[in-house]
Structure formats: structure tokens, C-alpha cells
Structure 1
């Protein structure tokens, strides 16, 4: 009797399994589409985290893709946010006024940083990263007294922060930032595209820029 009852369950089950295998053959999942190869996922490194190394890049390449996790208000977050505003993070772009690269440097500023070959600069992402840091260090030295004096104060509804000051100096130069701060916002320089110092002060406020050390003679050297 037990054998008959078992047959009632085993036979239908075997039939169902056979139908399933016939209708839904085994498929192989291509795991390569989930690969993390090529992604920069290790951010536990030395202070050179700010100076991102690159693979070899040739002048024929027109894009340079990087992938970042959420960067928040870190130094990396600061420079990547500023780069996105300047060029959408494109190392190889030149705007209508001749400003170069990811951070849109002018030729005269590059000379101050020890860079005399704009074409080489344009196609060398690592040099662009070093130039950004060197320029920020130089600006921080020039504006060190103004940073100490004005950070935490409010000008035209904008709370002044160190990162806002450094971003505005990247836009307009440290001299224009001094004029803005010391005139209580009365001298509010705007660039050729209508972007003002005060807008950069607000947009890039509150980032941690303590990584940037004041350096009067900072240069961009590979």
C-alpha cells in the first residue's frame, strides 16, 4: 500500500521536473558584465590620493573616464565638484577663450606654476592634477590673512568658508578675491561667462580643504 502511495507522488514529480527542464533549459550567466576591472575602488592610500595617477594617455584619446564613490565634502569632493563646473571633468577640452583642461587653466597661470608647454599639459592628466593642487597651495598662501580674517563671516547672505575662497580664487585670481572680501562684496568680479566670485563662494562652501598647505612657491612638477 505504501509503495502505491509513493508512486502517486514520485511519478508526477518526475514528470514536472522533465517538463521544466524541457521548457527552461539551463542558461549560463555572463559574469563579465559585473566585473569591477578598471574601476578605482581603493581610496585608502597616502596623501597622493589627491594626485590621481593615470594610465598612459595619447593625444588621440578624447575622453578620460574615472569613477568615484560618493566624495562628500572631502578635498577630492572639492576638486571634482570644481572640475565638473569648469569642464564637466574633461581633461582634454579647450574653451572659446583658450582655457585648458579639466580645471580650465590659462597659459599665464600655468607659467606661474612652471608649466610652459600647454599642449603637453592638455594631454597629461597627472600634470593637470598637480597644477590644480599647486595653484590652490599658492592661492592659499596669498590669501592666508584673508582666510583668517573672513572665514565664518557673512557677505551678501553668503557665509564665507576657506573652500569658497579657494574656489573663487581659482575662478578670478587671489587679487580679485581680496577685493571682494575687503569691499564686503562691493567689488564682485564676474568672468566672461557671467560667473561671479560670490556665486563660487556659495557653490563651493564648506568643503574640507585642510589638505591644501599654503605654499608661496608651489609648482606643478611631475
Structure 2
């Protein structure tokens, strides 16, 4: 019995020694592999890879200014609807620029050089403001009368009225309001006064001051 116990203890000790040797060897090999891999790392490429990854992440969440319901938000949203904010666009009906002005409206504003207008973003912004001022003057009584009321299920607001006037002209908007939506309007693309009133509702257009006669001053090339 004692002899068997001795053999068992001897075998256990031998196995323990073998396991220890395997463990130390494996650990040393792993350390060696780590050192080899570490020494062969291309840190420069990793750096640029990280930058590229960050750029891709930035592009996926590209910065967009939150303009909200400000006046800038109003004109940028309207410009996007008209032309995707493309100052140099001319549509199939000859409407020009970011806000898709017709030549007849430009003449009313004192702009008689359509090609120069198309090439001049600053002039286009001035024309937008001037046209909004003129429309607000023409529709001032209707803005006061119908603001915050509902027509055809759409809440009427000043910004919605001005956007609709940009689309259809102040005369058509006046008819729409005073007929409580019975006299409508649709442009060649099917856009309606009702749609524009709803889409551009609730923006702050208080910066636009109503002016009866407004001309855009500019010097053509």
C-alpha cells in the first residue's frame, strides 16, 4: 500500500513539473509573438487609417446648422424647395436661380439683366428680400385678418403666406385667403398655395418690413 502511494505521489509530481514547463514555454512564445507583432506595427499607417475612419464618421454625421424656425431657416428651406439652393439653376420654364425668379418679377424689382442676376448670388438674396417686402405690403391686411386661422385644414401663418406669395404671386394668395381656399392655384410642377402654406408655416418673418415700392439697387457688369 505504501509503495503504491509513493508511486502515485511521484507520478503527480512529474505531471506537475511537465505542466509547469509547458506553461512557461507557452508564455515565452506568446511574449515573443507579441514582441514580433509589436515591432512590426506600422504606426504611421495606423494613424492615417484612424484619421480616415474619423473622416468617414464625420461625413456620416456631417455638420448641419440647426436654423430652426428663424428667418434664415425660412429662406434656406424655401430656396431648397425651389432649386436645392442652387444659385445657377434654370428650370425648363426659364425660372432663374436659387429662388427660381421669373423675368417679369425681376423687372418689377428693377432687375433687367437676367444673366447677370443668375451669376450673382448676392443679388439673388437681395431680390428675395425685396420681393418678400413687396408681397408683405400687398398682403398686409390679409396677414392681419387670417393669421392663426385655419383654411382647408391648414393653419395660416405669415411665413406660409409669404412663401405662397413667392410661389403664386400676392394676388393669387389674396384670392385663396378671401375665398377660404375655394380659389386655388397650382404652378406648372403642381405645387399649390395650400401646400406652401403648410410646408412653410410658423417661421419668424418679422425681419421682413412691408414696403409698397421696392427696387433692388445693383451695378451690372
Match in the other structure for 2:198: 202
- Structure 1 runs of 4+ aligned residues shifted over 6 Å read 31-35
Whether 2:23 is the aligned partner of 1:27: answer no
Does the alignment pair 1:186 with 2:203? no
Number of residues of Structure 1 aligned to a counterpart in Structure 2: 182
Q: For the residues of structure 2 that align with 1:105 and 1:190, how far apart are their CA atoms?
A: 16
1-structure distance, mates of 2:213, 2:54? 46
Equivalences for 1:136-155 in 2 at 5 Å?
A: 136-155=132-151
State whether structure 2 residue 90 is matched by structure 1 residue 94.
yes
Deviations 1:159-201 (A, max 9, x none): 1000000000000000111100111111111112221111111
Q: Which moved more, 1:93-102 or 1:21-30?
A: 21-30
In 2, distance between residues paired with 1:194 and 1:180?
Answer: 16
Distance 1:194 1:220 in 2: 30
| Correspondence for 1:126 | 122
What displacement does 1:113 show?
1.1
1:215 aligned to which of 189, 200, 211: 211
Structure number with larger C-alpha Rg: 2
Question: Which residue is equivalent to 1:76?
Answer: 72
- Find the residue that maps to 2:195 and give its secondary structure: helix
Higher helix share: 2
C-alpha separation in 1, matches of 2:195 and 2:86: 22
Q: Cα deviations across residues 105-157 of structure 1 (Å, max 9, x unaligned)? A: 00010011111100000011111111111101111111111101100111010
* CA root-mean-square deviation: 2.3
Aligned counterparts of 1:147 and 1:100: Cα–Cα separation in 2: 28
Q: Please give the alpha-carbon distance, in whole angstroms, between the structure 2 residues aligned to 1:187 and 1:102.
A: 28
- CA gap of 1:159–1:90, structure 2 versus 1, over 3 A, is same
Q: Distance in 2 between matches of 1:68 and 1:210?
A: 24
Partner Cα distance (1:77, 1:33) in 2: 32
- What's the TM-score, normalizing by structure 1? 0.74
Alignment partners' CA distance in 2, 1:116 and 1:71: 33
Task: Name the counterpart of 1:41.
Answer: none
Question: Where do 5+ consecutive residues of structure 1 fail to align?
Answer: 1-7, 36-66
Structure 1 range deviating more: 86-95 or 13-22? 13-22
Residues 68 and 75 (structure 1 numbering): CA distance in 2 closer, same or farther, change over 3 Å?
Answer: farther
